[in-house]
Structure 1
Amino acid sequence: MREINNTKIIAVDHGYGNIKTANTVTPTGITAYESEPIFTGNILEYNGIYYRIGEEHKEFIPDKAIDRDYYLLTLMAIAQELNLHSVHEAHVHLAAGLPLTWIRNQREEFRSYLLQNPEIRYRFNHKDYHVRLVGCSLYPQGYPAIVSRMGELKGTNLLADIGNGTMNILYITNKKAQESRCWTEKFGVNQCMITAKNAILDQFGVKIEEATVEQILRFGTADISAPYLDCITAVARQYVADIFATLRKYEYNPDLMRLYVVGGGGCLLRNFGKYDRSRVTILDDICATAKGYEYLAYMSLKRRG
């Protein structure tokens, strides 16, 4: 979290699987309760309703502004960042993003959605928060994650931001993003998750916990029997092969350009992919995009004085 003119800049990366700030990561699942939940942990109290956040992941939706959950997730994210600095009342400027090719059409709607209530009072994990939203900067997803490395990106480079719901693809040539060469594909990690769970059901006639599949995708293994692990591994390898096939559709050639991968899908490439590791850079920091939003918003506000 940065600060300028007594305003806290809080970046929120509204992923389909996880919501990220510069310092926190939380699964996006939300369950509402009319009375206080029995168990503690990530409980938001807003307008007389309790919300437990983080037990599962949300499903993909193309327009986040029509889903009230992302507003509630934003309140939680603000509270998490403020709490890290022992702050519970603040003027806040939000920094967020949307998929590369969607931001042109959805920017103003999403900005209005995030700023729908200029002044908000709520509780998170039994602490009171009083927030005044004074502005919102919006950026294309993925690109901010590598903005601090732009000086390295000479020649032709391809950025792939592989999230839970979408994959954003952007060419960067001689340190400059090419707006005419960017695409968004509905081919996020959740597609692999669904395929893996279905493969276990089809092959073995049993259901597998999503958390177990997620562990395999993130770390390459889990404490399960070899036939189940082999089944999920095969699905993950095919998914990664399909990622590279999708990139080739947009003229990716590892001999002629470098590939930079950000987002949660990077771990799948590392665990299950076959590629020239000297030509592919995987950024492991899942909060990198949020940190980029925060930096860009800070620099923009600083220039305004």
Structure 2
Amino acid sequence: MKEFNNTKIIGIDHGYGNMKTANCCFPTGVAAYDKEPVFKDNMLVWNGRYYLIGIEHKEFKAEKMLDEDYYVLTLAAIARELNIVKLYSADVFIAAGLPLTWVSEQKEEFKKYLLQHETADYTFRGKEYHIRIVGADIYPQGFAAIVNNLSDFSGVNMLCDIGNGTMNVMFVNDKKPNPAKCYTEKFGTHKCMLEVRENLMRVHHTEPPEEMITRVLRFGTADIDSAYLKTIIDTAREYAAVIFRRLRDYGYDPKLMKLYIVGGGGCLIRNFADYDESRVIINDDICATAKGYERMLEMKLFRIGGKV
């Protein structure tokens, strides 16, 4: 979180797998109830309804404005950032983003979605919040994750942002993004998860908890039967190999350029891909994109004289 003229700048990365802010990360899931639920961990109360944050798994939708879920998740993200500094009433400027090639078409609609209520009074984790949303700006995913270390991008570079739902690819040459070479496709880590589950069912006739599969994908191993582990690892290696094949289709050549990987999918590349560590840089900071959103909005406000 940053501050500009008494306004809190809060970057929010609305991922399909996880919501990220500069300091927090939590699952992109929300379950709504008309009556107070029995279990109240991560409960948000707003507009007379009860929401359990991080519950269930939100399905992939190309447009995030189709229901109120991402708005409720936005309120939770703001609360988590404000709670770090023990602040429960604030003016907030949201810095958010969309996949690279979707920004131009969906930017205004997503901005309108985030600004649908000027004020929001709600309770999260037993604490009351009173916020005024004074603005929202939308930036391109992927590029935001490297804006704080753009000086490292001399020469020819390919940037690959692997999220849960999408993979974004762009070229950054001599510290400048190339808008003519930006690509987005639905090939995020959730695709790998689905393939793992399918292979486990086909080979072993079992469907283990998603949390167990996620642990293998994140750390490369888990305390499970060796045959199950091998199936997961083999599937993840094939997914990682396909990632590199797709990057080559977009012009990736390790002899001519460096590859920078950001997003949650970086752990799959690190754990299961074959690559030259001197030519492939993996950013393990899952909050890097949210931090980049904040920095880009901060620079914009300085540039325009601070008129929120």
What band does the TM-score fall into relative to the shorter chain? over 0.9
Q: CA RMSD in A?
A: 0.8
Please say if residues 100 and 183 of structure 1, whose CA atoms lie closer than 8 Å, have aligned partners that are also in contact: yes
Q: How does 1:223-302 map to 2 (within 5 A)?
A: 223-302=223-302
Alignment correspondent of 1:48: 48
Tell me the amino acid that sits aligned with residue 105 of structure 2.
Answer: N
Please say if residues 240 and 273 of structure 1, whose CA atoms lie closer than 8 Å, have aligned partners that are also in contact: yes
Question: In structure 1, how many angstroms separate the alpha carbons of the residues matched to 2:149 and 2:275?
Answer: 22
Alignment correspondent of 1:88: 88
Q: How does 1:8-87 map to 2 (within 5 A)?
A: 8-87=8-87
Question: In structure 2, how many angstroms separate the alpha carbons of the residues matched to 1:248 and 1:154?
Answer: 21
Alignment correspondent of 2:171: 171
Tell me the amino acid that sits aligned with residue 203 of structure 1.
Answer: V
Tell me the amino acid that sits aligned with residue 159 of structure 2.
Answer: L
Q: How does 1:98-113 map to 2 (within 5 A)?
A: 98-113=98-113
Question: In structure 1, how many angstroms separate the alpha carbons of the residues matched to 2:84 and 2:304?
Answer: 27
Q: How does 1:142-161 map to 2 (within 5 A)?
A: 142-161=142-161
Q: Give the superposition deviation at 1:67.
A: 2.6
Secondary structure in 1 matching 2:221: coil
Q: Give the superposition deviation at 1:198.
A: 1.1
Question: In structure 2, how many angstroms separate the alpha carbons of the residues matched to 1:33 and 1:153?
Answer: 48
Secondary structure in 1 matching 2:106: helix
Please say if residues 160 and 167 of structure 2, whose CA atoms lie closer than 8 Å, have aligned partners that are also in contact: yes
Once structures 1 and 2 are overlaid, which stretch shifts more, 57-66 or 17-26?
A: 57-66
Question: In structure 2, how many angstroms separate the alpha carbons of the residues matched to 1:122 and 1:116?
Answer: 15
Secondary structure in 1 matching 2:65: helix
How many residue pairs end up in the alignment? 305
Please say if residues 162 and 189 of structure 2, whose CA atoms lie closer than 8 Å, have aligned partners that are also in contact: yes
User: Is 1:7–2:7 an aligned residue pair?
Assistant: yes
Please say if residues 31 and 56 of structure 2, whose CA atoms lie closer than 8 Å, have aligned partners that are also in contact: no
Question: In structure 1, how many angstroms separate the alpha carbons of the residues matched to 2:153 and 2:138?
Answer: 23
User: Is 1:129–2:146 an aligned residue pair?
Assistant: no
Q: Give the superposition deviation at 1:55.
A: 3.2
Please say if residues 159 and 169 of structure 2, whose CA atoms lie closer than 8 Å, have aligned partners that are also in contact: yes
Secondary structure in 2 matching 1:65: coil
Q: Give the superposition deviation at 1:205.
A: 1.1
Please say if residues 29 and 58 of structure 1, whose CA atoms lie closer than 8 Å, have aligned partners that are also in contact: yes
Secondary structure in 2 matching 1:213: helix
**CA-to-partner distance for each residue in 1:92-139, whole Å, 9 max, x for gaps?**
000000000000000000000000001111110111111111011110
**CA-to-partner distance for each residue in 1:52-71, whole Å, 9 max, x for gaps?**
11134322100001131111
Question: In structure 2, how many angstroms separate the alpha carbons of the residues matched to 1:159 and 1:57?
Answer: 28
Question: In structure 2, how many angstroms separate the alpha carbons of the residues matched to 1:207 and 1:63?
Answer: 30
Question: In structure 1, how many angstroms separate the alpha carbons of the residues matched to 2:208 and 2:261?
Answer: 28
Once structures 1 and 2 are overlaid, which stretch shifts more, 55-64 or 231-240?
A: 55-64
**CA-to-partner distance for each residue in 1:130-156, whole Å, 9 max, x for gaps?**
111101111000101111211111110
Question: In structure 2, how many angstroms separate the alpha carbons of the residues matched to 1:190 and 1:59?
Answer: 10
TM-score (structure 1 length as normaliser): 0.98
Please say if residues 18 and 57 of structure 1, whose CA atoms lie closer than 8 Å, have aligned partners that are also in contact: no
Question: In structure 2, how many angstroms separate the alpha carbons of the residues matched to 1:135 and 1:15?
Answer: 20
Tell me the amino acid that sits aligned with residue 241 of structure 1.
Answer: A
Q: Are residues 56 and 215 of structure 1, via their aligned partners in 2, closer, same or farther at CA, if it must alter by over 3 Å?
A: farther
Question: In structure 2, how many angstroms separate the alpha carbons of the residues matched to 1:126 and 1:75?
Answer: 14
Alignment correspondent of 2:189: 189
User: Is 1:120–2:120 an aligned residue pair?
Assistant: yes
Large movers: runs of 4+ above 4 Å: none
Question: In structure 1, how many angstroms separate the alpha carbons of the residues matched to 2:184 and 2:239?
Answer: 17
Secondary structure in 2 matching 1:179: strand
Tell me the amino acid that sits aligned with residue 85 of structure 2.
Answer: H
Secondary structure in 2 matching 1:77: helix
Q: Give the superposition deviation at 1:299.
A: 1.4
Tell me the amino acid that sits aligned with residue 185 of structure 2.
Answer: E
Secondary structure in 1 matching 2:199: helix
- Gaps of at least 5 residues in structure 2 are none
**CA-to-partner distance for each residue in 1:134-183, whole Å, 9 max, x for gaps?**
01111000101111211111110000000000000000011100001000
